[in-house]
A = this chain, B = another copy of it.
Amino acid sequence: MEKITHAIQDEYPDEFAHCFGCGRLNEAGHHFRTGWDGDKTITIYEPKEEHKAIPGFVYGGLLASLVDCHGTGSAALALHRKNGHEPGSGHAPPRFVTASLHVDYLKPTPQGTALKAIGTVEEIHPKKWKTSVEVFAGDTLCAKGEVVAVVMPDTFKI
């Protein structure tokens, strides 16, 4: 399975690294990791056996979770790049939260295969970024999604 070398989630400060989807410090979580692939963003994840809808097919809520964290991670990557930084450069990245999530389920998603979420991210407001996401199992496009993420507001801070 391909691996992301420099993921944005590797560099979130510890207090923002507990997300069930993408927090490196959440022992029970999915540990999604999102990086650049040229000007696209990419997250690779192989669902566990229990992440099924029916035996053999991946649960839609897991795909929604993948799209969600891929979207917030992509927004963080994009604003970080706009600010002149890349993951791995040692600069603390911005942290986003999800404003809205949309997923269209196009085909049943087989289990036992690494999934790739590929994102195209664009700024729609200085604090708001939209990521269009395609989720592939092998060469098959199984789902399409869209995430609007906003810079984490003060109401969310700890």
Which chain B residues border A54 with CB–CB below 8 Å?
15-16, 18-19, 156, 158
Tell me the bound Cα distance from A104 to B150 in angstroms: 12
How near does chain B come to A33, taking the closest CB pair, in angstroms? 15
Which chain B residues border A48 with CB–CB below 8 Å?
28
Which chain B residues border A100 with CB–CB below 8 Å?
102-105
Q: Let me know if A52 and B156 touch, CB within 8 A.
A: no
**Could you give 15 example pairs across A and B, Cβ below 8 Å?**
A15-B55, A19-B52, A19-B53, A28-B50, A53-B97, A54-B156, A60-B97, A61-B66, A64-B103, A98-B105, A99-B104, A100-B103, A101-B102, A102-B102, A107-B155
User: Which A45-69 residues sit within 8 Å CB-CB of chain B?
Assistant: 48, 50-57, 59-62, 64-66, 68-69
Tell me the bound Cα distance from A101 to B20 in angstroms: 20
Listed in ascending order, the chain A residues whose CB lies under 8 Å from chain B are 15-16, 18-21, 26-29, 48, 50-57, 59-62, 64-66, 68-69, 97-105, 107-108, 155-156, 158
Name A56's contact: one of B28, B60, B103, B158 (CB within 8 Å): B158
Which residue of chain B is the closest to A106 with respect to CB atoms?
Answer: B99
Tell me the bound Cα distance from A117 to B83 in angstroms: 39
Known: A54-B156, A59-B21, A65-B61. A97 touches B105 (CB 8 A): yes
Which residue of chain B is the closest to A101 with respect to CB atoms?
Answer: B103
Q: Let me know if A20 and B103 touch, CB within 8 A.
A: no
Which chain B residues border A29 with CB–CB below 8 Å?
50
